């Protein structure tokens, strides 16, 4: 019995949201836009282009295409400097335990992330080898809540979408999983992720028996 297990990266495997926040905050400040933690919530799971569009919208700013490209580059440069300091201490609680359990049960595992930096991050935290497929921001043309990223992951694993299970921390990602006809498992707050089929605050709350049920359903 094989299912496809698809993991989002930021907010599920590692907490890179804090680095995205710092880099966007500094960038916004450089063009005189205030940027709050609450606004940052709305950027979770959202692509780099869409994120900058939203920040400019909040700040009521229009800029040229060249400036847009240059600002995106600046943000990513600073983000990468934060990533460079990461190691396996930054893996979120019990993520490795769940991955190892799935591997022991011979279940196919894919990444399904909006980030174009997913591979270097997984390398930094020593998890790259756990994945059978990596699908990230370099592989998709449509951002979450579009299901594209998860449908490509299912294909890469050779598992039908309805036999896939997605772990997601963002509303857009949960919606993408639901639209793809997959089981959606929210990692975070029930109130925020109420559209998910199941919600856990983190992987420490998830028993192996629950994963076994997913495999055998
Ligand atoms: P990058 P995920 C997403 O990762 C982040 O949640 C989001 O904040 C970020 O803007 C997006 O990746 C793009 O990241 O600038 O590295 O390409 O949650 O889909 O793993
Ligand atoms: Mg995420």
Pocket test for ligand 1, best of 8, 9, 10 (most atoms within 8 A of CB): 10
Please report the atom of ligand 1 found closest to the CA of residue 51.
10
Q: What is the pTM of this model?
A: 0.95
pLDDT tens per residue across span 39-80: 998 899 999 999 999 999 999 999 999 999 999 999 999 999
Pocket of ligand 1 contains residue 121 by CB under 6 Å: no
Pocket of ligand 1 contains residue 175 by CB under 6 Å: no
CA 61 to the chain's CA centroid? 28
Tokens in use for 194?
């109420």
CA distances from 17 to 118, 171, 197, 204 (A): 13, 14, 24, 20
Active-site residue flag, 87: no
Average pLDDT over every residue of 170-197: 97
4-7: strand order across its sheet: 133-135, 109-112, 4-7, 164-168, 183-187, 198-200
Q: How far is the CA of 203 from the centre of ligand 2 (A)?
A: 14
Q: What is the ipTM of this complex?
A: 0.94
Contact assessment for residue 172 and residue 46, using Cβ atoms and an 8 Å cutoff: yes
Rounded distance between C-alpha atoms, residue 105 and residue 112, angstroms: 20
- The overall longest dimension of the chain from CA atoms, in Å, is 55
Contact assessment for residue 7 and residue 110, using Cβ atoms and an 8 Å cutoff: yes
Rounded distance between C-alpha atoms, residue 126 and residue 109, angstroms: 15
**What is the structure's pLDDT at 37?**
87
In DSSP notation, 50-96 reads HHHHHHHHHTT----HHHHHHHHHHHHHHHHHHHTT--GGGBPTTHH
Rounded distance between C-alpha atoms, residue 69 and residue 87, angstroms: 29
Q: Above pLDDT 90, what percent of the chain?
A: 96
Rounded distance between C-alpha atoms, residue 171 and residue 160, angstroms: 23
Rounded distance between C-alpha atoms, residue 99 and residue 56, angstroms: 38
pLDDT tens per residue across span 110-140: 999 999 999 999 999 999 999 999 999 999 9
β-bridge mates for residue 166, sequence order: 6, 184
Looking at the CA of 188, name the nearest ligand. 2
Mean residue pLDDT of the chain comes to 97
Pocket of ligand 1 contains residue 20 by CB under 6 Å: yes
Contact assessment for residue 3 and residue 164, using Cβ atoms and an 8 Å cutoff: yes
Rounded distance between C-alpha atoms, residue 200 and residue 164, angstroms: 18
Active-site residue flag, 169: no
Rounded distance between C-alpha atoms, residue 150 and residue 165, angstroms: 10
Q: Is the pLDDT of residue 177 over 90?
A: yes
**What is the structure's pLDDT at 144?**
93
Tokens in use for 149?
């990223």
């Amino acid at each position: 019995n094989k299912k496809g297990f698809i993991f989002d990266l930021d907010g599920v495997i590692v907490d890179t949201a804090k680095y995205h926040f710092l880099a966007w905050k500094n960038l916004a400040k450089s063009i005189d836009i205030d940027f709050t933690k609450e606004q940052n919530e709305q950027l979770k799971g959202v692509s780099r282009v869409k994120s900058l569009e939203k920040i400019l919208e909040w700040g009521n700013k229009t800029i040229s295409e060249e400036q847009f490209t240059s600002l995106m580059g600046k943000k990513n440069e600073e983000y990468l400097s934060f990533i460079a300091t990461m190691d396996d201490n930054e893996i979120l609680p019990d993520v490795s335990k769940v991955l190892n359990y799935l591997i022991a049960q011979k279940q196919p595992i894919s990444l399904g992330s909006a980030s174009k930096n997913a591979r270097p991050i997984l390398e930094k935290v020593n998890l790259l080898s756990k994945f059978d497929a990596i699908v990230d921001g370099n592989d998709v043309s449509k951002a979450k809540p579009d299901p594209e990223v998860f449908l490509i992951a299912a294909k890469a694993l050779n598992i039908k979408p309805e036999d896939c299970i997605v772990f997601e921390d963002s509303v857009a990602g949960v919606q993408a999983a639901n639209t793809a006809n997959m089981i959606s498992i929210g990692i975070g707050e029930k109130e925020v992720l109420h559209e998910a089929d199941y919600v856990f605050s983190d992987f420490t709350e998830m028993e192996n028996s629950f994963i076994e049920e997913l495999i055998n359903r």
